[in-house]
């Protein structure tokens, strides 16, 4: 489970609820992402689906952070490619 200071959090009252990270100026940095429109549209559709079924409010940024966090844990540590 990720902590509130991490890329997502889990509500202990509802184990299937995952939500966006909280802002913390000391532990975050800003990055610019350029992506094809179809990728952004797919992300927005996923965010909309998450917001229909979650108590937390998801954003495109929160979803991207969750995706990157999972990929880093699953692939980077083992030397895998993206």
Write out the H or E segment, with its range, that includes residue 19.
Answer: strand 14-20
- What average pLDDT does this structure show over 47-62? 92
The angle subtended at Cα 55 by Cα 25 and Cα 75, nearest 5°, is: 60
* Rounded-to-integer distance, Cα 72 and Cα 24, Å: 21
Nearest to 7 by CA among 21, 19, 18: 21
Q: Is the pTM of this model over 0.75?
A: no
Looking at residue 71, its pLDDT comes to 86
The string of pLDDT tens digits covering residues 1-38 is 343 334 444 444 444 445 555 566 677 788 888 999 99
């Amino acid at each position: 489970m990720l902590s509130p200071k991490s890329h997502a959090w889990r509500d202990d009252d509802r184990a299937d609820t995952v939500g966006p990270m909280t802002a913390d100026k000391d532990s975050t940095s800003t990055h610019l992402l350029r992506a094809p429109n179809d990728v952004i549209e797919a992300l927005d559709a996923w965010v909309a689906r998450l917001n229909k079924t979650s108590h937390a409010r998801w954003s495109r940024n929160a979803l991207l952070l969750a995706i990157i966090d999972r990929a880093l844990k699953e692939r980077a540590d083992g030397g895998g490619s993206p």
